[in-house]
Chains A and B, each alone.
Chain A
Amino acid sequence: MEANARSKEKRRVRRVQEQGQPREKHFNRQVGVDSPEVFSLILNPDGMLAFLRAVRQAARRRNVYVNLAKVKKITPEAIAALLAAIHQFRKFGTAISGNVPTDATALKVLNHSGFRTYVRNSPDFKYPTLVGKITKRNLSGETFQNHFDQQLAKDLVQFAIGKMAESGHRPGPSYAVFCEAMLNTWNHASELVARREPWWASAYFDAERQRTCFTFIDQGVGIFKSHSLTMTLNILVALRYLDRGELLKRILHGEIPSTTRIPGRGNGLPGMFEHCRAGRIRNFVIISNNTIGYVESNIYKVLPSEFEGTLLYWEIGS
Chain B
Amino acid sequence: MIAERIEINIAREFTDTPGPRKRSEGDHSGEEFLNDFLRPRFVAARDAKAKLCINLDGAIGYPTSFLEEAFGGLARAFGREAVEQTLEITCNDEPYLEEQVLKYIRAADGTR
Contacts and interface: CB of A to CB of B under 8 A. Distances in A.
A183 B63 contact: yes
Given A174-B61, A176-B64, A179-B19, A148 B26 contact: yes
Interface residues of B, number: 28
Contact of A264 (B19, B62, B63, B107): B107
Interface residues of A, number: 32
Contacts of B21: 183
Interface string B40-82: 0000000000000000000011111110110011001000000
A172 interface: yes
B48 to A, nearest CB: 28
B25 A150 contact: no
A173 interface: yes
Contacts of A32: none
Contacts of B66: 179
Contacts of B108: 263-264
Tell which of A173, A176, A187, A271 has the most Cβ of chain B within 10 Å: A176
A260 B26 CA distance: 19
A268 B64 contact: yes
Given A151-B17, A280-B96, A267 B64 contact: yes
A160 to B, nearest CB: 11
Given A146-B26, A147-B26, A154-B17, A180 B64 contact: yes
Task: In the A-B complex, list the 6 residue pairs whose CB atoms are closest, starting with the nearest.
Answer: A148-B26, A175-B61, A263-B111, A179-B63, A271-B64, A150-B17
Interface of A: 145-151, 153-154, 157-158, 170-176, 179-180, 182-183, 186-187, 263-265, 267-268, 271, 278, 280
Interface of B: 17-21, 25-28, 60-66, 68-69, 72-73, 76, 93-94, 96, 104, 107-108, 111
Given A150-B19, A175-B60, A263-B76, 5 more contacts: A149-B26, A158-B60, A183-B25, A186-B25, A264-B68
